[in-house]
Chains A and B, each alone.
Chain A
Amino acid sequence: MRVMAQVAMVMNLDKCIGCHTCSVTCKQTWTNRPGTEYVYFNNVETKPGTGYPRRYSDQEQWKGGWTLDRKGRLQLKSGSRLKRLLSIFYNPDLPSIDDYGDPWTYDYQTLIQAPPGTLTPSAHSVSALTGRDMKVTWGSNWDDDLAGGPDHTAADPDLAGLGDHVKLAYEQAFMFYLPRICEHCLNPSCVASCPSGAMYKREEDGIVLVDQDRCRGWRFCVSGCPYKKVYFNHRTGKAEKCTLCFPRIEAGQPTICSETCVGRLRYLGLVLYDADKVLSAAATPDERDLYRAQLSVLLDPGDPEVAAEAARQGIPADWLEAARRSPAYALIARHRVALPFHPEYRTLPMVWYIPPLSPVADTVAAATPDGRAPEDQVFAAIEALRIPAEYLASLFTAGDPAPVRRVLRTLTAVRTLMRAGQLGLDVPDGLAESAGATEADLEDLYRLLAVAKYDERYVIPPAHAEDAGRLAAQHEQLFCSQPGGVDSFHPPGGRQRFRDDDGRLHLDLSPRSGS
């Protein structure tokens, strides 16, 4: 067992109002500069919809993520390493800027400098790539809120194969919002695609980053990521991606998108996982088993064996404690209401989603008692939800509707339970059991989903600076400037290393008494 820690995020889609505040604050923080005009580390898409860049989730077209070769071994969808090197001069799978939308601004000067006259001056759209006038024909969120109707919406790759289940007619249409950041995958295909080795996953917290000094602009990370969350800065010629706001995470603060989320729907916390199991989980033969395989990689921080092993492998005690209190672990593994996004890409993504409980399509029928047992009535509504479970399944469970239905049932049970409590109604018999939980579980879930405060939603242990700061040179300087030199800090036979309250090993830096 190789225990590693990962900062994971959970988003509760029921609460997203599609306000784009997260995208705006993220952009202000990270990509508000020339070359990254079109770059959204965080973006919010309307589903069903084509997404950003257009149709990114169609891997038959873009060849992102992993696949299994004929012998069942894990392989990048874009082919072998040699094939990538040979196509380094032209990457056949790279989206063009027009798939994102030519970034534009407006020629505001004409508004200010137009001579006095009768015609009202208007600001032309100007391309940020060339500085020339341009006609705006596509951009991020072009199809927001189902704009463009079935013309655009029908191009959503996730709708493929659903056929009659999904009605795009206006009266029966449904939609919800899907905020997306980099998934900080356990098996990141972007890292595997980078020929320079400039991309890496941090050992301590699992954040996936691009080393700007080592990136040589070979562009394979952009095509390798199935979520298209690596972007090419067209001015610097280097790749950039969501950093999970690592400077904030290191300081124990949530990412800026979480911090400013209007719906307060984001949760951040640690999950522990067994790094030895990642590859075999990613190579699970049947796509539909990938959700379960991904769960099986996670370790229970409450398990004393896991805790002991984690401590032995150098995971600090305060991190273990944070993992035990992690809202992400609770929602993902304990209550199992959060699902991975497109697990079939086999990257083991670490941003999880609680699927939305949409309005019941046929409200009248659902509200009419029809002689069935009460809990059956509650759950009959799930079949009548506007958003078809099959569509959610194509997003979150590689097409297996069973886990989606189970989650929706759990969420309905929470609502029914709390509604009964507040209105003084009888709790339907066997409500909790039918959702595979206990009433205490449901109440815990209610707390997490509805009332959790800031420090329950974000449980982020600060980074251990002393890990990063193995600044041998500095230590030596410090030692040598002491009268007794290095020896005065390491009493022969004395206590040289000690474990402090948070369980970390430290060097004993206190001067030898009497020296």
Chain B
Amino acid sequence: MNGASGWQILLWVALPYLALGVFVVGHVWRWRYDQFGWTSRSTQLQERRLLKWGSPVFHYGTFAAIGGHVIGVLIPESWTRAIGIPEDVYRWFSAGAGTLAAAAIIVGVVILAGRRLLVPRVRATTSPVDYVALILLLVIIVTGIVPTLFVNLLGHGYDYRVSVAPWFRGLFSGSPSVTAIATAPVVYQVHAACAWLIWAVWPFSRLVHAWSAPLWYLWRPYIVYRRRVAARPAEPGTSGRRWRRIGVPY
């Protein structure tokens, strides 16, 4: 961390760890405290025509983007080289697939955000934390797509795998290289900072529904039977408020 200013350390070391901490503690707390509020908060009942296109396109685009990040940021450059993928093939693949995912996300998020802001029935269900999450998502998406499109696809290319990625992986090995990220272009910096922020907002927003993806449904028996069980008394320390809702504007 030699030569890093206090600000840089705050932004590129403290923020990530803080966000991670809030992410973990927040989820434990929400899981134990607010199962009742843990939902996707679907608004399909209120509005279906825009959702029909916006929601699937956005979600599937996001899956593609997450997959891309796993490949691009978590897998070191040396590995892909070792299995014999040349740099420009990698770049073209990343730019091509990235652009496709980006296009899907952009279309999806424009429809969804427009719907959320402009359709009164949907807007009425939106809580402040939803707006925070939505704005962060928008910033992340825009700053994620601009470099993919204008730098990697059309421009001269920028190898984030020698600056952003090592810093990111360094966070997990305990020695993040602050100077690497601090010298990266601003779009990457904003993208990374907002991405960390959204981890901190995650447990308090409807984003938690992502962890409930019901894959188990594919294997479980169709009909679920349960025996009657005695209601458990409230957990000590929660003052019995198991039904308090979070992320609901009412």
Residues of A in contact, count (CB < 8 Å) = 56
In the complex, are the beta carbons of A90 and B52 less than 8 A apart? yes
Query: How distant is the Cα of A238 from the Cα of B243 in the complex, in angstroms?
Result: 13
Query: How distant is the Cα of A191 from the Cα of B123 in the complex, in angstroms?
Result: 31
In the complex, are the beta carbons of B228 and A467 less than 8 A apart? yes
| A315 beta carbon closer than 8 Å to chain B | no
In the complex, are the beta carbons of A81 and B218 less than 8 A apart? yes
In the complex, are the beta carbons of B124 and A131 less than 8 A apart? yes
Q: Which residues of B have CB within 8 Å of A88? A: 214
Query: How distant is the Cα of A94 from the Cα of B44 in the complex, in angstroms?
Result: 8
CB distance from A34 to the nearest CB of B (A): 6
Query: How distant is the Cα of A40 from the Cα of B229 in the complex, in angstroms?
Result: 27
Task: Report which of A81, A84, A127, A236 forms a contact with B39, defined as CB distance below 8 A.
Answer: A236
**Chain A 428-481 residues near chain B, CB threshold 8 A:** 463, 467-471
In the complex, are the beta carbons of A238 and B39 less than 8 A apart? yes
Q: Which residues of B have CB within 8 Å of A506? A: none
In the complex, are the beta carbons of A201 and B224 less than 8 A apart? yes
In the complex, are the beta carbons of B46 and A81 less than 8 A apart? no
In the complex, are the beta carbons of B214 and A236 less than 8 A apart? no
Q: Which residues of B have CB within 8 Å of A219? A: 42, 44-45
Q: Which residues of A have CB within 8 Å of B218? A: 81-82, 85
In the complex, are the beta carbons of B227 and A237 less than 8 A apart? no
Q: Which residues of B have CB within 8 Å of A192? A: 222-223
In the complex, are the beta carbons of B39 and A216 less than 8 A apart? yes
In the complex, are the beta carbons of B55 and A89 less than 8 A apart? yes
In the complex, are the beta carbons of B225 and A85 less than 8 A apart? no
| B36 beta carbon closer than 8 Å to chain A | yes
**Chain A 185-238 residues near chain B, CB threshold 8 A:** 187-188, 191-192, 194-197, 199-204, 212-219, 232, 234-238
Per-residue 0/1 for A276-297: is the Cβ within 8 Å of any B Cβ (1 yes, 0 no)? 0000000000000000000000
**Chain A 294-349 residues near chain B, CB threshold 8 A:** none
Interface SS of chain A: helix, strand, loop or mixed? loop
Q: Which residues of B have CB within 8 Å of A95? A: 45
Task: Report which of B44, B51, B226, B228 forms a contact with A463, defined as CB distance below 8 A.
Answer: B228
| B245 beta carbon closer than 8 Å to chain A | yes
In the complex, are the beta carbons of A197 and B40 less than 8 A apart? no
| A380 beta carbon closer than 8 Å to chain B | no
Q: Which residues of A have CB within 8 Å of B41? A: 217, 237
Q: Which residues of B have CB within 8 Å of A191? A: 222-224
Q: Which residue, of A34, A215, A216, A238, has the highest number of chain B Cβ atoms within 10 A?
A: A216
CB distance from B89 to the nearest CB of A (A): 31
| B81 beta carbon closer than 8 Å to chain A | no
| B56 beta carbon closer than 8 Å to chain A | yes
Query: How distant is the Cα of A188 from the Cα of B48 in the complex, in angstroms?
Result: 26
Pairs A–B under 8 Å by Cβ, sample size 28: A81-B217, A84-B217, A85-B215, A89-B59, A90-B44, A90-B48, A94-B45, A95-B45, A96-B44, A96-B47, A97-B46, A130-B121, A130-B123, A187-B223, A195-B214, A197-B216, A197-B217, A200-B226, A201-B223, A204-B227, A213-B36, A216-B212, A216-B214, A218-B40, A236-B36, A236-B39, A237-B42, A468-B227
Further pairs besides A85-B214, A130-B120, A217-B209: 7, Cβ < 8 Å:
A90-B56, A96-B45, A96-B46, A195-B217, A202-B228, A218-B42, A471-B230
Interface residues, chain B, with chain A CB atoms under 8 Å away: 35-48, 51-52, 55-56, 58-60, 120-121, 123-125, 206, 209, 212, 214-218, 220, 222-230, 242, 245, 248, 250
Which 6 residue pairs across A and B have the least CB separation, nearest first?
A195-B214, A213-B35, A192-B222, A217-B39, A237-B41, A195-B217
